[in-house]
A and B are shown apart, each in its own frame.
Chain A
């Protein structure tokens, strides 16, 4: 789509890049060959950028079935000397944490970077997970960029560091780095480095020998002692300005600190900013040197008091008595994003300068909320309507039948008017939690709903569990043929991936059948009556029943085929009974001049609303 290619731009060019695009550029600059991951906001655009601009660069960039598999692919590649990157959002690292901890003992040969994107706010994540603790837990080095420029530069640094240490390195970002656009100056590129060679070395690579593991643990701890010295040569960890009022900060928080200092210039620039780029191991020497003349210390970071605790421990150990302010003593909040204003208010308490906060002269007006709804024509809307009607058809009340949801667009069914799902937790948990609910003694039917990509990611094992334990359950797989919520990435059911690679499609129907599910049906959610009947029938059958509701994501469908049908409301027939809106909740329907109207620019012509108009007021018009 765009006519400048960030991956192929020459060295020394100044271009506007989003943080994730900058990291993709860093892939090319670092000679990384294998890039894999699982889509997750705010990390997805790294691999998407490689897909969009990477043709002919000979980089393997493909989505994997989940983060754990992706991690192990990247690890395997790096054992043979190839350079690899694996990308994921914070909770993705939870999924990949098992191999991450073992990888530290075996180490790597080619550089391996683990990109993990956290989400203070949170904007698009189930928790405000602080993945910095993983560095401590897994004993893997971690670096933290503060801007798109550093995101690119640190991608290169972490690959070099990884190769020098023979350890995977975690590149930890947050939304305000991943999704921020800023100026980036490109560096030189390197040819992608693939397989180099591999020699069997069981004590190093086989984790089944306990005495080997003990030795590798010693090796690992020794390697960590080398890190701080190594990162010095890459220019990581910096002191900005001088003074004895000290601020320790990292990542995007550094920007808020600098913003405040450049705006208010408190106490005659008697403020020292200590920017920590290496988050693990804690750069002791750097911190002790920079903190030695501090009279007061404020730690500015998002989420948990991770740096704060390290700074306190370090000062304590050195018997240096200075006040450390931060989250533990309430100077900064423990939840949510920081902002320049928050940092300014905290700093002004400590330094005694007045904050010229621009008093909002205007107040926002009270307007109704606008949570993201399911798109017009979304097949999931039909599926949940069929589920709810199917419950009634089977003779149950809605409040009798719990619906477990999962992670994907279909979680939006929690909103009015559907009010469908009761629970939504983590990838694949719909099926497993429904099992637990059922075996605990719930004596009515239970429904689990899960999307196709989520099923591939983490739904298969719970399904095996349900079949094996003979749990009475209805599982509805909402198969829209794509990872929709994160921006339409491929699933294992595709024949061709985004990079043009021809792959063997894996069919969910075959998987479900093969694990021993006896009642299985594939339905079209746009055939509502059939799907409703199937739901009511399957609700009453013992054992594991699986319905696969198959229809492509509406956005994809429109991109492929355009809009085929148009509808309008006959205003003389519309009584504003709102039946159409109350059943569908479609955002293409709105009220205007005391009648319902169809927004022509938003309607994709699914015709669902037509069914529910008791007055036949919604009619098809000739598509232009």
Chain B
């Protein structure tokens, strides 16, 4: 029973943004790389526009048992939305890397009291003040995806950023994972978005 090296990734998003697809791509890429993997998430119920957390655990050697990890145990946190990032911050580990898409989607509970997107800069300021800048990556993933003409591909841009930093997967593993999960029409735009994410980190 040797301890395996496990990489914990937390994906926080708003239902419908593509967080579950992102976790699935990572899971498939993991298996293609010969790693063990477990994801923990709930789906099926009307999750759209609700808070969604996906736990992904990649076992570089040895088997992963638990599909979940606890607060303070994420090595990487990928946030597709700033409010959900703030909500999930407690999961980030001591030396964890935080990747955040520069996007805010105020929930209805805020709209009802007249507050809204101004919360983004407030939260980002708070987040950046508590985390070492070397481990904090604010990425315009959604904007990059829109520029590429595929607004749904922000998750793939973030995957590129994640893999550019973590080097968890080979290019061919990601390519094969994306190819096996996406239909013919979305495969190329997804791969393009992924590569744009990798480039973004290279040129920082």
Q: Contact: A484 with B46, CB < 8 Å?
A: yes
Instruction: Check if B106 is an interface residue, CB within 8 A of chain A.
Output: yes
Instruction: Check if A16 is an interface residue, CB within 8 A of chain B.
Output: yes
Q: Contact: A590 with B111, CB < 8 Å?
A: yes
B80 → A minimal CB distance (Å)? 13
- How many positions in chain B have a CB within 8 Å of any CB in the partner chain? 76
Q: Contact: A262 with B1, CB < 8 Å?
A: yes
Chain A residues 300 to 346 lying within 8 A of chain B, measured CB to CB, are 337, 339-341
Q: Contact: B107 with A368, CB < 8 Å?
A: yes
What residues of A have a CB within 8 angstroms of the CB of B42 in the complex?
A: 41-42, 121, 123-124, 175, 179
A42 → B minimal CB distance (Å)? 6
Give the segment of B64-72, B155-163, B164-172, B191-199 that binds chain A: B64-72
What residues of A have a CB within 8 angstroms of the CB of B64 in the complex?
A: 182
User: Which of B28, B50, B62, B119 makes the CB contact (< 8 A) with A371?
Assistant: B50
Instruction: Check if A442 is an interface residue, CB within 8 A of chain B.
Output: no
Instruction: Check if A284 is an interface residue, CB within 8 A of chain B.
Output: no
B143 → A minimal CB distance (Å)? 13
Q: Contact: A361 with B69, CB < 8 Å?
A: no
What residues of B have a CB within 8 angstroms of the CB of A582 in the complex?
A: 112
What residues of B have a CB within 8 angstroms of the CB of A586 in the complex?
A: 108
Instruction: Check if A1 is an interface residue, CB within 8 A of chain B.
Output: yes
Complex Cα gap A293–B58 (Å): 36
B108 → A minimal CB distance (Å)? 5
What residues of A have a CB within 8 angstroms of the CB of B44 in the complex?
A: 41-42, 44-45, 124, 179, 485-487
What residues of B have a CB within 8 angstroms of the CB of A15 in the complex?
A: 31
Complex Cα gap A582–B83 (Å): 21
Q: Contact: B111 with A581, CB < 8 Å?
A: yes
What residues of B have a CB within 8 angstroms of the CB of A593 in the complex?
A: 117-118
- How many positions in chain A have a CB within 8 Å of any CB in the partner chain? 82
Chain B residues 85 to 113 lying within 8 A of chain A, measured CB to CB, are 86-94, 105-112
What residues of A have a CB within 8 angstroms of the CB of B69 in the complex?
A: 340
B18 → A minimal CB distance (Å)? 12
User: Given that A176-B68, A341-B70, A362-B90 are contacting pairs, would A372 and B50 also be in contact in the complex, using a CB cutoff of 8 Å?
Assistant: yes
Q: Contact: A587 with B49, CB < 8 Å?
A: yes
Complex Cα gap A39–B114 (Å): 38
Complex Cα gap A265–B3 (Å): 9
Instruction: Check if B144 is an interface residue, CB within 8 A of chain A.
Output: no
A498 → B minimal CB distance (Å)? 15
What residues of B have a CB within 8 angstroms of the CB of A363 in the complex?
A: 89-90
User: Which of B50, B65, B111, B127 makes the CB contact (< 8 A) with A591?
Assistant: B111
User: Given that A357-B72, A370-B107 are contacting pairs, would A362 and B89 also be in contact in the complex, using a CB cutoff of 8 Å?
Assistant: yes
Q: Contact: A181 with B68, CB < 8 Å?
A: no
B61 → A minimal CB distance (Å)? 12
Q: Contact: B86 with A364, CB < 8 Å?
A: yes
What residues of B have a CB within 8 angstroms of the CB of A485 in the complex?
A: 44-46
> Would you give the 0/1 interface string for A339-375, flagging 1 where the beta carbon is closer than 8 Å to chain B?
1110000000000000001111111110111111111
Complex Cα gap A417–B118 (Å): 22
Q: Contact: A591 with B110, CB < 8 Å?
A: yes
Complex Cα gap A241–B2 (Å): 12
- Can you offer 21 A-B residue contacts whose CB atoms are under 8 A? A1-B181, A2-B181, A16-B24, A42-B42, A121-B42, A176-B68, A180-B67, A181-B24, A255-B65, A256-B65, A358-B72, A360-B92, A364-B86, A365-B89, A372-B46, A373-B49, A373-B107, A585-B108, A587-B107, A591-B116, A599-B105
Known: A1-B181, A147-B38, A370-B107; 16 extra A-B contacts, CB below 8 A, are: A14-B31, A124-B42, A176-B68, A181-B38, A255-B65, A340-B66, A358-B94, A361-B92, A361-B93, A362-B89, A369-B109, A370-B109, A581-B112, A593-B117, A597-B116, A602-B49
Interface, chain B (partner A; CB < 8 A): 1-4, 14-16, 23-24, 27-28, 30-31, 36-51, 62, 64-73, 83-84, 86-94, 105-112, 114-119, 123, 126-127, 130-131, 151, 179-183
7 tightest Cβ-Cβ pairs between the two chains A and B: A591-B116, A372-B50, A358-B72, A41-B44, A360-B72, A365-B86, A255-B65
Interface, chain A (partner B; CB < 8 A): 1-4, 14-16, 41-42, 44-45, 121, 123-124, 147, 175-176, 179-183, 241, 252, 254-256, 258-259, 261-263, 265, 269, 337, 339-341, 357-365, 367-375, 409, 412, 416-417, 484-487, 555, 576, 578, 581-582, 585-587, 589-593, 596-597, 599, 601-602
